[in-house]
A and B are shown apart, each in its own frame.
Chain A
């Protein structure tokens, strides 16, 4: 059993489709009404079929009251970390501390370059992400005196004004798969948010990936529990039992509880673009999973 000691979160991963423009907003509101903890949107600024994720997050924050929001994950190569820091803090202040910063190193380099972004190798992009996290944390730190300075390979700050400070300690959640990114996540991030469909070996892959994060954390003198483990999932509700996450809500709850107890995952984010599965996930899967995990942790 692995337990990093976090309460369970249940969220939705909603496609930020540009048409009709209110669809994503309505789903986010439905997710909140259904009782989910978290609403997230992927961020692909080169994709014109999508709304700009930052704008959508800000707009949805204004249309909701309780639910927490995050990019899943924000595309760093097309968004400058200094701008992101201020924007994230602003959104956190406006929303009353409901924002978390999911961050990714980028991957579709042709499209990123077409938009005017800088092409990086995978290795460079990991380094750039590390610098960005440093810059973001520096700018949020309004306790420090003087302008923020940062002299990196990819980004620099020359005495930038600090602030605003966010309303709560915004979690920086990293979408990571490769060994370098996982170690970086362990060293610097507050959360890890991979997608189950991308794991070739299914949930079993989580063990090895967790180990790299834990090593990264240890190398930086951090406790592994400093990094919350979340997981984007997809599946299908149906009356009869089927393969992983294809079946009735009870089957889902059992499988998610097992993933949670086995790999310490404490956040499940459902990829869904309809209100019906979101409602089922919130009303049936989430409470049953919580119960099973609580019972399993107590053992």
Chain B
């Protein structure tokens, strides 16, 4: 019999040798052990929690099983979350030694309650043994922290059956023949509590002796060990064998001579048994969304999948600007996993599907309510393919500030957007209006090839030679055609740049915009400038922020080019530095998004900042309908590219304009009056889903070609959550 868990192996680190503990654990990691465990022993041995935390700091991969007493459960909960966070999700919490079942049951409830940071409101718990009176929950651990309970008697076994994620027993305190009865009790109490017995991993502490001839149980050559252990795995459902050994030799021999043979033998015997991921706990399953078949999540994605009851859910549910409550987030780590995730999503045609790289999408929804999100943040590679041609390969989940930092040592760069937290995938399939736009063009203008997963699950390359139609479409409308899993760019040389920031008087808003726009248009291409204004409030001075990058490290050039732009209005405050391009981009913190609600954004491309447009913009800001208004300079190298060369068609514009508002009705009322000034739009900053927007983003010929290609590559419109292009109807016959 089995419980569907992967067979794992652990080693107990003796808590006596401070100088050797980390080396021992590191060796266990090298030998492929899944977990190292620590247990408290009184007297001169080391404190298990301290030792486990120390070892976590000296290892990278192996999980850390800390078996500790539980004096103050609420404090232990915070410690557990902390160790899980620091170790990157490697903690297994062991409890139960020397505890009383009833008290431990309360402690587990408190620990789980505090670890459940997704639950709002403080934890209150009034027990016989412990009381918690309104403690705030959190921190949220990196992963679900499994609670393993050591149990050798019926009360503790029943507790483990009700509450534990793992049952730990020590061979010797339990006879091999007693495991079956214990399992029976565990399974029965689990079922009584509404749980699936497969929720409980069975862990067995073992010890023995390697010798030339068989002397007894776990006493003999490795083959004898395999013979002794195999029935425990196959017949008793033991999922983890944890070896206690004093010396390094036992650890080495067990890993080299017992584990591989045991895995192979168990694999053969268990070939017909159901396998797959371990079952999620009942209290997590209770929060699942209807309409998603969680039982059929592909095994390769199961471990990293996040459901509403998981601790990581709070971190992945929302994006930078949008609150969400997806039913499932699939974190794919390879093109194959992307294809599997996509196939799974396609088997749920009724639920929304979002694709997320950095989670900064505005038009690209990348979260939803009750649907599926394919998260590409794990695919964050940044790799130099060829130094001579400055060819680099980027994963969709890499963030642009990390790209800038990784390219800096080569003296290279790639203009992206203005914010370092933005992911590669969304931006590099839409356009990319960044700090070097006028000198170097859009981000997509340096794209040379992509590898992508299409709606049918096939993995294709697209570039100038291969699938050129698809490559054309990807550069401006990529989100409609598939999931790009790697981007090949040709970077260029960027060293230190001039970086100016000016706070200017915006009381004459229209005049400021006009003068700024005129100065930018005649500036050398080295200069790219963005201007930001907020809603104007009566009684407060109106201000604007002007930012500009000058692609030069010569102070006189930088000063000379910044000066006309800054002169657009009286300056309240200014700073101008010569700094690496990468440091201009290093402006984002962690990737944890907690937005709520839905952004309202409107976007347009414009050739010149005419007096009429500037006046309309002033009206918009005076109306209060927009709380954020930004104009970015494009033109220059962006306009060197022929409009038909990429699906991004707005090549004639010198400026991109975007506004954020609180109310779509109010913003539209003001914005629709401005639309006459625009020549097309950049889709990335548009949340309006009315069909006119499609015709603004893509001129008729481009749209027709895109619809044709959409009909070819995604006829069922799987990719519809980011500025959807409806596929052309297929011709009959």
Q: Of the candidates A18, A62, A95, A163, which one forms a contact with B82 in the assembled complex, judged by CB atoms under 8 Å apart?
A: A18
Q: Smallest CB–CB gap between A101 and chain B, Å?
A: 13
Q: Of the candidates A55, A95, A164, which one forms a contact with B49 in the assembled complex, judged by CB atoms under 8 Å apart?
A: A55
Tell me if B73 is interfacial: C-beta within 8 Å of chain A.
Answer: yes
Q: Smallest CB–CB gap between B577 and chain A, Å?
A: 15
Of residues 645 to 674 in B, which have CB atoms within 8 Å of A's CB atoms?
Answer: none
Q: Are A48 and B138 in contact (CB under 8 A)?
A: yes
The complex places the Cα of A46 from the Cα of B51 at a distance, in Å, of 23
Tell me if A1 is interfacial: C-beta within 8 Å of chain B.
Answer: no
Q: Are B50 and A94 in contact (CB under 8 A)?
A: yes
Q: Given the known inter-chain contacts A19-B590, A80-B71, A116-B72, please indicate yes or no for A63 contacting B57, CB distance below 8 A.
A: yes
Of residues 77 to 101 in A, which have CB atoms within 8 Å of B's CB atoms?
Answer: 78-80, 83, 86-87, 89-91, 93-95
Q: Are A55 and B82 in contact (CB under 8 A)?
A: yes
Q: Are B72 and A20 in contact (CB under 8 A)?
A: no
Of residues 43 to 81 in B, which have CB atoms within 8 Å of A's CB atoms?
Answer: 43-47, 49-51, 53-58, 71-75, 78-79, 81
Q: Are A114 and B57 in contact (CB under 8 A)?
A: no
Q: Smallest CB–CB gap between A119 and chain B, Å?
A: 10
Q: Hey, what's the 0/1 contact readout for A51-73 against B, CB within 8 Å counting as 1?
A: 11011101111110000000000
Chain B residues positioned under 8 Å from A91 (CB to CB): 47, 50, 54
Q: Are B73 and A58 in contact (CB under 8 A)?
A: no
Tell me if B463 is interfacial: C-beta within 8 Å of chain A.
Answer: no
Q: Are A55 and B138 in contact (CB under 8 A)?
A: no
Q: Are B86 and A56 in contact (CB under 8 A)?
A: yes
Q: Of the candidates A20, A54, A167, which one forms a contact with B79 in the assembled complex, judged by CB atoms under 8 Å apart?
A: A54
Tell me if B137 is interfacial: C-beta within 8 Å of chain A.
Answer: yes
Chain A residues positioned under 8 Å from B82 (CB to CB): 18, 21, 51-52, 55-56
Chain A residues positioned under 8 Å from B117 (CB to CB): 48
Smallest CB gap from B114: residue in A: A48
Tell me if A22 is interfacial: C-beta within 8 Å of chain B.
Answer: yes
Q: Smallest CB–CB gap between A111 and chain B, Å?
A: 8
Q: Of the candidates A83, A94, A115, which one forms a contact with B18 in the assembled complex, judged by CB atoms under 8 Å apart?
A: A94
Q: Of the candidates B54, B83, B122, which one forms a contact with A94 in the assembled complex, judged by CB atoms under 8 Å apart?
A: B54
Tell me if B389 is interfacial: C-beta within 8 Å of chain A.
Answer: no
Q: Which of B127-135, B166-174, B255-263 contacts A (4 or more CB under 8 A)?
A: B127-135
Tell me if A134 is interfacial: C-beta within 8 Å of chain B.
Answer: no
Chain A residues positioned under 8 Å from B50 (CB to CB): 54, 58, 87, 90-91, 94
Tell me if A142 is interfacial: C-beta within 8 Å of chain B.
Answer: yes
Q: Of the candidates A48, A87, A113, A165, which one forms a contact with B78 in the assembled complex, judged by CB atoms under 8 Å apart?
A: A48
Q: Are B589 and A20 in contact (CB under 8 A)?
A: yes
Q: Of the candidates A46, A55, A165, A167, which one forms a contact with B83 in the assembled complex, judged by CB atoms under 8 Å apart?
A: A55
Smallest CB gap from A87: residue in B: B47
Tell me if B290 is interfacial: C-beta within 8 Å of chain A.
Answer: no
Q: Are A51 and B86 in contact (CB under 8 A)?
A: yes
Q: Are B73 and A55 in contact (CB under 8 A)?
A: no
Tell me if A135 is interfacial: C-beta within 8 Å of chain B.
Answer: no
Q: Are A114 and B138 in contact (CB under 8 A)?
A: no
The complex places the Cα of A273 from the Cα of B523 at a distance, in Å, of 40
Q: Are A90 and B51 in contact (CB under 8 A)?
A: yes
Q: Are B44 and A115 in contact (CB under 8 A)?
A: no
Q: Are A52 and B75 in contact (CB under 8 A)?
A: yes
Q: Are A55 and B139 in contact (CB under 8 A)?
A: no
Tell me if A45 is interfacial: C-beta within 8 Å of chain B.
Answer: yes
Tell me if A290 is interfacial: C-beta within 8 Å of chain B.
Answer: no
The complex places the Cα of A87 from the Cα of B47 at a distance, in Å, of 5
Smallest CB gap from A160: residue in B: B42
Smallest CB gap from A64: residue in B: B57
Q: Smallest CB–CB gap between B399 and chain A, Å?
A: 13
Q: Are B79 and A55 in contact (CB under 8 A)?
A: yes
Chain B residues positioned under 8 Å from A296 (CB to CB): none
The complex places the Cα of A185 from the Cα of B32 at a distance, in Å, of 50
Tell me if B312 is interfacial: C-beta within 8 Å of chain A.
Answer: no
Tell me if A168 is interfacial: C-beta within 8 Å of chain B.
Answer: no
Tell me if A117 is interfacial: C-beta within 8 Å of chain B.
Answer: yes
Q: Of the candidates B21, B49, B85, B131, which one forms a contact with A51 in the assembled complex, judged by CB atoms under 8 Å apart?
A: B85
Q: Given the known inter-chain contacts A90-B50, A90-B51, A94-B54, please indicate yes or no for A59 contacting B133, CB distance below 8 A.
A: no
Tell me if B592 is interfacial: C-beta within 8 Å of chain A.
Answer: yes
The complex places the Cα of A160 from the Cα of B74 at a distance, in Å, of 25
Chain A residues positioned under 8 Å from B589 (CB to CB): 20
Tell me if B136 is interfacial: C-beta within 8 Å of chain A.
Answer: yes
The complex places the Cα of A115 from the Cα of B590 at a distance, in Å, of 29
The complex places the Cα of A93 from the Cα of B130 at a distance, in Å, of 33
Q: Given the known inter-chain contacts A20-B589, A48-B117, A59-B86, please indicate yes or no for A114 contacting B53, CB distance below 8 A.
A: no
Q: Are A18 and B44 in contact (CB under 8 A)?
A: no
Tell me if B548 is interfacial: C-beta within 8 Å of chain A.
Answer: no
Q: Are A62 and B132 in contact (CB under 8 A)?
A: no
Chain B residues positioned under 8 Å from A59 (CB to CB): 53-54, 56-57, 83, 86-87
Of residues 1 to 38 in A, which have CB atoms within 8 Å of B's CB atoms?
Answer: 18-22, 25
Tell me if B433 is interfacial: C-beta within 8 Å of chain A.
Answer: no
Q: Smallest CB–CB gap between B248 and chain A, Å?
A: 19
Q: Smallest CB–CB gap between A138 and chain B, Å?
A: 14
The complex places the Cα of A93 from the Cα of B81 at a distance, in Å, of 25
Q: Of the candidates B54, B71, B81, B136, which one forms a contact with A58 in the assembled complex, judged by CB atoms under 8 Å apart?
A: B54
Tell me if A162 is interfacial: C-beta within 8 Å of chain B.
Answer: yes
Q: Are A79 and B75 in contact (CB under 8 A)?
A: yes
Chain A residues positioned under 8 Å from B139 (CB to CB): 18-19, 21, 48-51
Q: Of the candidates A61, A94, A116, which one forms a contact with B74 in the assembled complex, judged by CB atoms under 8 Å apart?
A: A116
Q: Of the candidates B21, B74, B85, which one forms a contact with A115 in the assembled complex, judged by CB atoms under 8 Å apart?
A: B74
Of residues 92 to 148 in B, which have CB atoms within 8 Å of A's CB atoms?
Answer: 110, 114, 117, 122, 130-139, 142
Chain B residues positioned under 8 Å from A114 (CB to CB): 122, 132-135
Q: Are B135 and A52 in contact (CB under 8 A)?
A: no
Q: Are B86 and A22 in contact (CB under 8 A)?
A: yes
Q: Hey, what's the 0/1 contact readout for B337-366 against A, CB within 8 Å counting as 1?
A: 000000000000000000000000000000
Q: Of the candidates A18, A25, A113, which one forms a contact with B133 in the assembled complex, judged by CB atoms under 8 Å apart?
A: A113
Chain A residues positioned under 8 Å from B42 (CB to CB): 160-161
The complex places the Cα of A145 from the Cα of B71 at a distance, in Å, of 27
A-B contact pairs, 8 of them (CB 8 A): A21-B85, A48-B137, A59-B87, A86-B47, A91-B54, A116-B73, A161-B42, A164-B46
> 10 other contacts beyond A62-B56, A79-B75, A91-B54, with CB at 8 A cut-off?
A21-B139, A55-B86, A78-B75, A87-B47, A90-B46, A93-B18, A115-B135, A116-B72, A163-B43, A165-B44
Chain B residues near A (Cβ < 8 Å) = 18, 21-22, 42-47, 49-51, 53-58, 71-75, 78-79, 81-83, 85-87, 110, 114, 117, 122, 130-139, 142, 589-590, 592
8 closest Cβ pairs, A-B complex: A62-B57, A58-B53, A48-B138, A161-B43, A21-B85, A163-B44, A18-B139, A52-B79
